[in-house]
Amino acid sequence: MSAPDTGLGAPPYDCAEDAAALPALGIDIGGTKVAGGVVLPDGTVTDTARRPTPGKSVAATEDAIAAVVDELAERHGGPLVGVGVGAAGWFDRTGDTVLFSPHLAWRNQPLRKELSDRLQRPLWVGNDADAAAWAEYRYGAARGSSLMLMITLGTGIGGGMVIDGRLQRGAHGVAGEYGHMRVVPDGRLCACGNRGCWEQYASGNALGTTAREVAHSSPAAAAHLLDRVDGDPDRITGEDVARAAADGDPLAGELLAEVGTWLGQGIADLSAVLDPEVVVIGGGVSVLGETVLGPARQRLERALPGRGFRPGPRIVAAELGAQAGLVGAADLVRRAVCEGDA
């Protein structure tokens, strides 16, 4: 029987001594890149590799994963406990099948079997935000917490949760898809097929979408943004807005604050259901720091149900940055090997 997960000190699971001491490979698959790393048991990443994600081709995506694994394994040269793969998609309860990926080609894809046959190594496969949540719980901003939520702000919004030292995947494997909470009835169309999802208002894509809308309707207000894209409002991206805000553009600053406000509102809604101790914000947008997190905390204070009579969660920036997904995936395959599940 496995020991209870504590997240403190030694790995929170029973483990054969050899497996506990070995490095593992962690792979993080996003909409644009397949990133991998050799990860030690203490969470240190000693080597990395990456390939572009050929998102429209299942076979080519698996080729890219195998190429990153082979490159890292060859350079490492020594024994590895296994390969952990965190992928942007909705998995079934077992973690064997990708049910759906809004930004990749997987549809009911038996990814674990296909990769296991190809890689011939112990394997853990699951959602990339779950892997990032586990990394922040084990090594980062949520160490020792009783109930943590991870929110990854990037192209969209992903999420994961760890409760009492156990990664929670839900009855059907798709827990933590916070980005697809409906926050605006009949709002913007989302890649998931619904309208008004949270990620349409509080993500990197949302930042670009709102900026383009303003540039079309009020070119004078968006003059500094338009200068960056040769006057073409359809070329404005979230990255353009972030850079303009760093340069002091008032409109860009307002747009970032709006994303933060939407973020805080969603956290208030999640708090009504889950009552987390800490909410860790990761992903590309999180590098903007207090520009986004400050408005999020302010909105949470105003929108938390029962405000003034109950504590709310801490909102903190992720500590592991872009490597959280691969670090968590590596530790999860180590745990799977230790518990006989790989």
- For position 68, which CATH number holds? 3.30.420.40
DSSP 145-171: -SEEEEEEESSSEEEEEEETTEE---S
Q: CA-to-CA distance for 226 and 232, rounded, in angstroms? A: 6
Nearest Cα residue to 278 out of 108, 163, 115, 113? 163
pTM: 0.88
175 and 305 fall within a common domain: yes
Residue 7, in any domain of the structure: no
| pLDDT given at position 168 | 93
62 and 173 fall within a common domain: no
Q: Is the pLDDT of residue 9 over 50?
A: no
Q: CA-to-CA distance for 157 and 313, rounded, in angstroms? A: 19
Residue 1, in any domain of the structure: no
| pLDDT given at position 4 | 34
- Spell out the long-range contacts of 173-176 with Cβ–Cβ below 8 A and sequence spacing 24 or more: 173/90, 173/91, 173/92, 173/93, 173/94, 173/95, 173/99, 174/90, 174/91, 174/99, 176/127, 176/129, 176/130, 176/133, 176/150
Q: What is the mean pLDDT of residues 238-250?
A: 92
Q: CA-to-CA distance for 203 and 48, rounded, in angstroms? A: 27
For residues 47 and 34, is the Cβ–Cβ distance under 8 A?
no
Residue 79, in any domain of the structure: yes
Q: Is the pLDDT of residue 159 over 60?
A: yes
Q: What is the mean pLDDT of residues 1-16?
A: 43
| pLDDT given at position 101 | 83
Q: What is the mean pLDDT of residues 148-166?
A: 92
- Computed over every residue of the chain, the mean pLDDT equals 90
198 and 287 fall within a common domain: yes
> How far does Cα 120 stand from its chain's mean position?
27
Is pLDDT larger for residue 32 or for residue 268?
A: 268
- State pLDDT tens for residues 168-194: 999 988 899 899 999 999 999 998 889
Q: Is the pLDDT of residue 196 over 90?
A: yes
Q: Which domain holds residue 273?
A: 146-318
> How far does Cα 76 stand from its chain's mean position?
27
| pLDDT given at position 160 | 95
171 and 89 fall within a common domain: no
166 and 105 fall within a common domain: no
| pLDDT given at position 17 | 59
| pLDDT given at position 2 | 37
Residue 52, in any domain of the structure: yes
Give Cα separations from 316 to 184, 243, 246, 276, 319 (angstroms): 26, 22, 21, 12, 9
Q: What is the mean pLDDT of residues 90-96?
A: 86
Of the chain, the percentage scoring pLDDT greater than 70 comes to: 95
25 and 77 fall within a common domain: yes
198 and 87 fall within a common domain: no
159 and 116 fall within a common domain: no
Residue 188, in any domain of the structure: yes
| pLDDT given at position 58 | 87
The total number of structural domains in the chain stands at 2
| pLDDT given at position 338 | 86
Lowest-confidence range among 63-67, 205-209, 286-290? 286-290
Residue 10, in any domain of the structure: no
Residue 8, in any domain of the structure: no
| pLDDT given at position 53 | 84
206 and 334 fall within a common domain: no
Lowest-confidence range among 94-103, 208-217, 295-304? 94-103
Q: Which of 14-18, 168-172, 187-191, 296-300 is predicted most confidently?
A: 296-300
For residues 215 and 225, is the Cβ–Cβ distance under 8 A?
yes
The residues that bridge with 28 in the sheet, in sequence order, are 35, 86
Nearest Cα residue to 104 out of 83, 89, 85? 89
**What's the pLDDT band for 13 if we cut at 50, 70, 90?**
low
Q: Is the pLDDT of residue 5 over 60?
A: no
253 and 312 fall within a common domain: yes
208 and 329 fall within a common domain: no
Residue 11, in any domain of the structure: no
314 and 332 fall within a common domain: no
| pLDDT given at position 158 | 87
Q: CA-to-CA distance for 205 and 227, rounded, in angstroms? A: 20
| pLDDT given at position 47 | 96
**What's the pLDDT band for 248 if we cut at 50, 70, 90?**
very high
